[in-house]
Amino acid sequence: MHFMPLAYLDPGSGSFLVQLAIAALLGLGVAFRASWSKIKGWFGVKSKSDDEDDDESAK
Amino acid sequence: MTNRPNSGQLSASFRDPSGFLFSRDGVLYRQINRVYAGEYTRLMDSGLYERLVRAGLLIPHTEANQISSESESSFKVIQPERVKFVSYPYEWSFSQLKDAALATLSIQKRALKAGMSLKDASAYNIQFVRGKATLIDTLSFETYKEGQPWVAYKQFCQHFLAPLALMALKDIRLNQLLRVYIDGVPLDLASELLPTRTKLSFGLLTHIHIHAGAQKRYAGQDVKSRRGSMSKQAMVGLIESLEATIRKLKWKPAGTEWGNYYDITNYSDLAFEHKKQLVGEWTKKLQPHLAWDLGANNGVFSRVAGESGANVVSFDIDPAAVEQNYRQVRSAKEENILPLLLDLTNPSPSIGWANRERESFGGRGPADLVLALAVIHHLAISNNVPLPQTAEFFAEAGKWLLIEFVPKSDSQVRRLLASRADIFPDYSRDGLEAAYREKFNIREAVELRESERVLYLMERK
């Protein structure tokens, strides 16, 4: 892979691979949540706003 | 941040080729190198800079293009707001490190929304500015390309997740590992030290235990040529998982007089109020910019001194006291009190490359005013430091000294002497004054009401 032209940190071989594996799994969760809130949306259930995290961490 | 000889470049800022910090005529600047021009422009033009600064997550800066740069590789020079007192993760309480971690993740989430990503996640890039964990490295952002993993994942786990997990689930004192391991706690060590039950937590199992195993298994293997990419959804999942794992880590001090420090003092309300009144009057008269409260406990007198408008660094050796102090800063949104963990008998040394990356406690001084309230007996008796040496230490730490003498007749001192021989014939009011006159002019000496304690205001000679 040839991204990260500015990266000065060594991401570490093991860290790199384990991250891909864990993130793939966690990405499924994010995708599932997104579709679930869409389905809920069809039934008129309002989902949390996208900016909620921003507001919370800005306190 | 000691200056390098023959150059204004600061020695804590050399790893990242995107730019560096330098100081000129006492003002701190950051040079942005040409290689980083595109990323800087994106940070500013995308609105990300503005949003992060407004949320108190990124240090504000102004462009200082009138300043001639240090080298030909320069694209721009910026002048970031100066941090009042630089502190390090091994000096932070549990919640300070936790807030620094959550701030880093919050920044990464906002960056992703703006098409950028953090290219490092060093705890040293976070400082407490107006009481809040704030990123001080404006050059930490890079353009996010879909498919790209988080290059700072390993660093984040070492600098934040591992020490927080160890502090919360093993022993609060393990934050001191950060003093030894400047690039964060090695994950194999964290994995070994953490209780086995932490393998039942998905976050700790994956980000620490499995992560440590993978590091060992794939050490040194070439992964650059490996195929594999990470969707943006996967990246968001990873960041949210780290966030959830960290939010779940909690520490509440056990076995300490949590919340009741001043209930266990041995002197009367009248003496306590008198002490407050004198500290308030004297600091208002002195108007210090920077005050160090050494042995601050939960910060009662730091706050009295802070009423003068001073920035007060409130040091204590007890992680529970520092934790309580910080929680108060956070809940009352106090902007000028910085609680930090410090063992006065073994203060933070200068560490890192050439021993110049992270400054020692003394190297970050001197302060305008040092408060040493109810601390002299711990230094002179518990730690056997002769009084003249304590005077020398305080004289190096600050211009003015507000010190409380606690006599041998005081129950706190009697307790210290209960189990040992009294080998301190010079420990007396006269002994203290004689020792301190070598270094200071004594400006005030007031006996606290209903107490045998004496409060002094001294000015360094």
Contacts of residue B18 in chain A, CB cutoff 8 Å? 6, 8
Interface list for B 217-236 with A (CB within 8 A): 217-231, 233-236
Domain boundary among the residues B80, B112, B132 is at B80
Nearest to B237 among A14, A18, A30 (CB): A30
Contact A27 B235 (CB under 8 A): yes
Q: Which domain holds residue B205?
A: 89-220+227-248
Say whether pLDDT at B65 is over 80: no
Q: Please check whether residues B69 and B98 belong to one and the same domain.
A: no
Structure tokens at B111: 């960056």
Radius of gyration for chain A, computed over Cα atoms and rounded to the nearest angstrom: 17
The residue of chain A nearest to residue B117, with distances taken between CA atoms, is: A4
Q: Please check whether residues B72 and B98 belong to one and the same domain.
A: no
Nearest to B151 among A9, A22, A58 (CB): A9
Say whether pLDDT at B230 is over 70: yes
Q: Please check whether residues B289 and B325 belong to one and the same domain.
A: yes
Say whether pLDDT at A59 is over 50: no
Contact A7 B210 (CB under 8 A): no
> Tokens 């490996």, residue?
B226
Q: Please check whether residues B157 and B50 belong to one and the same domain.
A: no
CATH of the domain at B281: 3.40.50.150
Nearest to A3 among B148, B210, B241 (CB): B148
Contact B219 A13 (CB under 8 A): yes
Mean pLDDT of B287-297: 97
Nearest to A26 among B151, B220, B241 (CB): B241
Domain boundary among the residues B51, B80, B109 is at B80
Q: Is the Cα torsion angle A14, A19, A21, A22 positive or negative in sign?
A: positive
> Tokens 């050796």, residue?
B317
Q: Please check whether residues B307 and B445 belong to one and the same domain.
A: yes
- The more confident residue out of A52 and B302 is B302
Contact A57 B57 (CB under 8 A): yes
Contacts of residue B211 in chain A, CB cutoff 8 Å? 14-15, 18
Helices (H), B35-152: 37-45, 48-54, 94-113
Q: Please check whether residues B235 and B381 belong to one and the same domain.
A: no
**CB neighbour burial string for B291-330, b if at least 16 within 10 angstroms, e if fewer:** bbbbbbbbbbbbbbbbebebbbbbbbbbbbbbbbbbbbbb
Please choose, from the candidates B366, B369, B395, B397, the residue with its C-alpha nearest in 3D space to the C-alpha of residue B282. B369
Please choose, from the candidates B217, B216, B225, B187, the residue with its C-alpha nearest in 3D space to the C-alpha of residue B204. B187
Contact B219 A22 (CB under 8 A): no
Whole-number Å distance between alpha carbons of B163 and B175 = 6
* Predicted pLDDT at B11: 72
Contacts of residue A14 in chain B, CB cutoff 8 Å? 211, 213-219
Q: Please check whether residues B74 and B95 belong to one and the same domain.
A: no
CA dihedral B242→B248→B251→B252, nearest 10 degrees, is 160
Structure tokens at B248: 């779940």
Say whether pLDDT at A55 is over 60: no
Whole-number Å distance between alpha carbons of B235 and B150 = 7
Mean pLDDT of B443-453: 95
Q: What value does the mean pLDDT of chain B take?
A: 93
β-partners of residue B74 are B33
Say whether pLDDT at B437 is over 90: yes
Contacts of residue B227 in chain A, CB cutoff 8 Å? 1
Whole-number Å distance between alpha carbons of B63 and B50 = 14
β-partners of residue B292 are B313, B370
The verdict on B110 touching A (C-beta cutoff 8 Å) is yes
Q: How far is CA B237 from the centre of its chain?
A: 30
Q: Among A46-50, B29-33, B97-101, B253-257, where is mean pLDDT lowest?
A: A46-50
Whole-number Å distance between alpha carbons of B175 and A39 = 45
- The more confident residue out of B132 and B69 is B132
Q: Is residue B211 part of a domain?
A: yes
* pLDDT per residue as tens digits for the range B199-208: 999 999 999 9
Q: How many CB atoms lie within 10 A of CB B353?
A: 12
* Predicted pLDDT at B371: 98
Q: Please check whether residues B435 and B355 belong to one and the same domain.
A: yes
Cα B366-B370-B373 angle, rounded to 5 deg: 155
Nearest to B154 among A4, A15, A22 (CB): A15
Q: Is residue B8 part of a domain?
A: no
Nearest to B237 among A9, A12, A23 (CB): A23
Whole-number Å distance between alpha carbons of B273 and B279 = 10
Do B367 and B398 touch, CB atoms closer than 8 A?
yes
ipTM: 0.79
* pLDDT per residue as tens digits for the range A10-22: 888 899 999 999 9
Mean pLDDT of B312-319: 96
Q: Is residue B187 part of a domain?
A: yes
Q: Please check whether residues B276 and B238 belong to one and the same domain.
A: no
Contacts of residue A28 in chain B, CB cutoff 8 Å? 237
Radius of gyration for chain B, computed over Cα atoms and rounded to the nearest angstrom: 24
Nearest to B228 among A20, A26, A27 (CB): A20
Mean pLDDT of B73-102: 96
Q: Which of A19, A25, A50, A52 to mutate to test the interface with B (most CBs of B within 10 A)?
A: A19
- What are the C-alpha distances in Å from B307 to residues B288, B301, B311, B324? 11, 10, 9, 19
* Predicted pLDDT at B263: 53
Contact B233 A30 (CB under 8 A): yes
Please choose, from the candidates B360, B303, B361, the residue with its C-alpha nearest in 3D space to the C-alpha of residue B335. B303
Q: How many CB atoms lie within 10 A of CB B76?
A: 19
* Length in residues, chain A: 59
Say whether pLDDT at B177 is over 50: yes
Residues 6+ apart with CB under 8 A from B396: B362, B365, B366
Do B92 and B133 touch, CB atoms closer than 8 A?
no
Domain boundary among the residues B49, B80, B111 is at B80
3-state SS class at B424: coil
* Predicted pLDDT at B6: 39
Contact A23 B234 (CB under 8 A): yes
pLDDT band at B256; cut points 50, 70, 90: low
Say whether pLDDT at B58 is over 90: yes
Structure tokens at B84: 């009042």
β-partners of residue B166 are none
The verdict on B407 touching A (C-beta cutoff 8 Å) is no
Contacts of residue A49 in chain B, CB cutoff 8 Å? none
Q: Please check whether residues B64 and B177 belong to one and the same domain.
A: no
Answer whether 0.95 is exceeded by the pTM: no
* Predicted pLDDT at B311: 98
Q: Is residue B127 part of a domain?
A: yes
* pLDDT per residue as tens digits for the range B7-17: 577 777 788 89
Whole-number Å distance between alpha carbons of B88 and B91 = 5
Q: Is residue B14 part of a domain?
A: no
Half-sphere exposure of B138 (CA within 13 A, CB side): 30
Mean pLDDT of B437-441: 98
Do B39 and B143 touch, CB atoms closer than 8 A?
yes
Q: How far is CA B366 from the centre of its chain?
A: 17
* Predicted pLDDT at B265: 62
Q: Is residue B407 part of a domain?
A: yes
Q: Please check whether residues B123 and B62 belong to one and the same domain.
A: no
Contact B210 A22 (CB under 8 A): yes
Structure tokens at B385: 């430091």
Question: How close does chain A come to B23, measured CA to CA in Å?
Answer: 23
Contacts 24+ apart (CB under 8 A), B346-353: B348/B88, B348/B90, B348/B91, B348/B179, B349/B179, B350/B2, B351/B179, B351/B182, B352/B12, B352/B182, B353/B11, B353/B14
Contact A24 B234 (CB under 8 A): yes
Contact A30 B234 (CB under 8 A): yes
Q: Is residue B186 part of a domain?
A: yes
Q: Is residue B433 part of a domain?
A: yes
pLDDT band at A34; cut points 50, 70, 90: confident
Pairing of strands B141-143, B440-447: unpaired
Say whether pLDDT at A40 is over 90: no
User: How many distinct structural domains can be found in chain B?
Assistant: 3
Q: Please check whether residues B95 and B69 belong to one and the same domain.
A: no
Interface list for B 50-109 with A (CB within 8 A): 51, 54-57, 102-103, 106, 109
Contact A13 B120 (CB under 8 A): no
* pLDDT per residue as tens digits for the range B73-87: 889 999 999 999 999
The verdict on B349 touching A (C-beta cutoff 8 Å) is no
Q: What value does the mean pLDDT of chain A take?
A: 74
Question: How close does chain A come to B263, measured CA to CA in Å?
Answer: 32
Mean pLDDT of B395-418: 95
Whole-number Å distance between alpha carbons of B42 and B48 = 8
